[in-house]
Structure 1
Amino acid sequence: MPKITFDQVAKSYGSVEVLPPFDLALDDGEFTVLVGPSGCGKSTTLRMLAGLETLSGGEIFFDEKPISKLEPKDRDLAMVFQDYALYPHMTIAKNMSFALRLARAPKSEIEEKVRRVAEMLNIAPLLDRKPAELSGGQRQRVAMGRALVRDAGTFLFDEPLSNLDAKLRGKMRAELAEMRDTIDKNMVYVTHDQVEAMTLGDRIVVMSDGLIQQQGTPEELFKSPVNKFVAGFIGSPSMNFIDGELVDDDGKTWVHGDGFKLPLDLDISARMNDVQTRAVTVGLRPSSLTTDISRGAPIELKVVVSEYLGAQSVLVTRCGGADVLVETQSTSPVRAGSVQTFGVLTNEIMIFDKASGLRL
């Protein structure tokens, strides 16, 4: 399995620059997730790696070997597409073995690999059927199986679960996570779903407008986002943002805003000493607000909507002109329209520059 390196890789369509020059290194045996909103360049990056798009600049290396001039079939890659891309006139067994038959592999080897992968994906009873006779989830397993039987060094996944309903997507996500732990291969996975990214990735690369915003483990991105975009994109429910102003009062640093005044912890206050701007954006995770006001700084919020989710509820509240999400236990129902006092865990407050969006 090669170490994959993007060296000043760029992509343009005519005069339109889709991906400015960027560097990225993917470690051997790593499950890397490229995540971001539609149009951020993640699928284009994957397609350049696969050889389905030409580079406008830079080079891609497998270990120390440049591969941008190689044909897709010569890159030791297998790809799973968003739309399954199965041959409708072939049985599942023939769909899965197509690449091996093109390579003229021995029949016994083909049958053994197809059987082994089909058993791993729980589709062994379906091998004699055709794609039209399968459900969406079964077709997606076949598409994955077709890639796996190739036994390539690197597997590429281009939003493979986006066509499935929510329940099936969750089931397939769990199966992918199990497969990741049993197959020691490079895997590069593209998605716009941050839940998939957080649950599957050894490392997540967050992209926006063709730029890599941040990369790291799921925990690093959740706890230490470098800017407002990453903080808002990673985590579910998403982070709350409220505009405010830094104020020094009574020997402490506070953040003031429409409808709130919150003290900053000493370590956060110390970081604010060198900050020139006073106009900031406060970032609060929904889990950073609690109904136990003894645990944090008090803040009054008007409850607009209470979304009951079973063991938990998500409250949509209002602070001045901003909506604020609060995660609570469902044991104590909260009535919509009421004004409630919550405790803010001040050690979990994040402060962002209002103009640039960078975390201070």
Structure 2
Amino acid sequence: MPRITFDQVRKAYGTVEVLPPFDLALNDGEFTVLVGPSGCGKSTTLRMLAGLETLSGGEIYFDDKAISTLEPKERDIAMVFQDYALYPHMNIAKNMSFALRLARVSKSEIEEKVTRVANMLNIGHLLDRKPAELSGGQRQRVAMGRALVRDAGTFLFDEPLSNLDAKLRGKMRTELAEMRDTIDKNMVYVTHDQVEAMTLGERIVVMADGLIQQQGTPEELFKQPVNKFVAGFIGSPTMNFVDGELVDEKGQIWVRGDGFMLPLSAETSSRMKQGATKDVTVGLRPSSFSQDVTTGAPIELKVVVSEYLGAQSVLVTHCGAAEVLVETQSAAPVKSGTIQSFGVNTDEIMVFDKTSGLRL
């Protein structure tokens, strides 16, 4: 398994530069997720790695070997596409073994590999069927199985679950996580779904507008986002953002806005004293609110809608003119149209520069 390095790689279509020069290193045996909104460049990055797109500049290395001039078949990769791309006239066994048969692998070895991978993916009983006889989730397993039997050094996944319904996506995420823990290979996974990224990635690379915003573990991105975009993209429900201004009262830094006045933690306050920014954007996660006012700084919110989700509810509230989401326990229901008091965990308040979006 090679260490994959992007060195000042860029991509342009004519005069339009979709990926400015960037550097990225993917460690040996790591499950890396490229995540971001549509059009951010994540799939283009994956396709350049696969050899399906040419580079406009820079180089990609497998260990110390430059690969940008190599054909896809020479790169020791296997790719799973969004649309399955199965041969409809072949049964599942032949679909999975197609690349091995082209490589003239022995019949016994093909049978052993197909059977082992099919059983791992729970499709061993489907090998004699045609793709049209399978459900969407089963077809996706076949597409993954076709890649896995090749025993390549690197596996690439291009939004493989986006065509599935919500329940099946959840099941397939679990199966992918199990597969990740049992197969010691490089895996690069592209998705626009931050839930997939958080549950699958050992390392997540967040992209926007062709730029890498931040990379790190799911916990690092959730707790220490570098800017407003990452903070708002990672986490579900999404982070709340409200405008405010910093106020210094007797050495304590507060953030004041329309309908709230909250003290910052000692750590955040010390950073605020070093900067000259006064107008800021405040970030609060829905989970930072408590119905027990004594557990944090008090704030009053007008409840507009209460969304019951089972064990938890999500309240859509108003803080001044801003909409604020609050997570609560459904065992303590809150009525719509009422004004409720909450306690805010001040350790979880994040402050961002109002102009640049950078976290202060």
**Structure 1: distance between partners of 2:77 and 2:265:** 49
- The equivalent residue for 1:154 is 154
Which structure 2 residues correspond to residues 70-81 of structure 1 after superposition, within 5 A? 70-81=70-81
Question: Offset of 1:267 from its aligned partner?
Answer: 1.3
Q: Which residue of 2 aligns with 1:340?
A: 340
Write the mapping of 1:169-208 to structure 2, written as runs, cut at 5 A: 169-208=169-208
For residues 286 and 332 of structure 1, what CA distance do their matches in structure 2 show?
16
Aligned position for 2:133: 133
- How far apart, in 1, do the equivalents of 2:27 and 2:99 lie? 26
Measured after TM superposition, the shift of residue 251 of structure 1 is 3.0
Amino acid at match of 2:13: Y
Instruction: Give the stretch that moved more between structures: 284-293 or 248-257.
Output: 248-257
- Partners in 2 of 1:32 and 1:15 — Cα distance? 30
Q: What does residue 310 of structure 1 align with? A: 310
State how 1:49-128 maps to structure 2 within 5 Å: 49-128=49-128
Corresponding position of 1:247: 247
Per-residue CA deviations over 1:61-95 (Å, capped at 9, x if unaligned) read 00000000000000000000000000111110000
The alignment's TM-score, normalised by the length of structure 1, stands at 0.99
The number of residues matched between the two structures is 360
Q: Aligned equivalents of 2:163 and 2:99: distance in 1? A: 24
Give 4+ residue runs of structure 1 displaced > 2 Å after superposition.
Answer: none
Q: Deviations over 1:308-339 (max 9, x none)?
A: 11111011100011111111111111000000
1:251-262 equivalence runs, <5 A:
251-262=251-262
* Letter matched to residue 10 of structure 2: A
Cα distance in 2 between the residues matched to 1:296 and 1:70:
58
How many Å separate the matches in 2 of 1:230 and 1:268?
19
Deviation at 1:277, TM superposition (A): 1.5
1:271 offset after TM fit, Å?
0.4
2:45 aligned with 1:41: no
1:282-301 counterparts in 2 under 5 A? 282-301=282-301
The Cα shift of 1:278 comes to: 0.3
Offset at 1:254?
0.7
Q: Within 2, Cα distance between the matches of 1:248 and 1:199?
A: 40
Structure 1: distance between partners of 2:251 and 2:135 = 64
Deviations along 1:105-149, whole A, 9 cap, x unmatched? Answer: 001111110000000000011101100000000000000000000
| 1:242-301, Cα deviation, whole Å (9 max, x unpaired) | 000001123311101001111111111110012111010000010101101001000000
Does residue 1:163 correspond to 2:163, yes or no? yes
5+ residue gaps, structure 2 = none
Please say if 1:264 is aligned against 2:256: no
Secondary structure, aligned partner of 1:280: strand
The CA distance in 1 between the partners of 2:40 and 2:205, in whole Å, is 12
SS of alignment partner, residue 150 of structure 1: coil
1:22 equivalenced with 2:22 (yes/no): yes
Distance 2:304 2:102 in 1: 60
State the partner residue of 1:13. Answer: 13
C-alpha distance after superposition, 1:145-199 (max 9, x if no partner): 0000000000000000000000000000000000000000000000000000000
CA–CA distance in 2 between the matches of 1:267 and 1:124? 55
- What are the superposed Cα offsets for residues 187-220 of structure 1, whole Å, 9 maximum, x if unpaired? 0000000000000000000000000000000000
Aligned-residue RMSD, C-alpha: 0.5
Distance between the aligned counterparts of 2:83 and 2:323, measured in 1?
37
Calculate percent identity across the aligned residue pairs.
Answer: 83
Superposed, 1:322-341 pairs within 5 Å as 322-341=322-341
TM-score (norm 2): 0.99
Return the offset for 1:340: 0.2
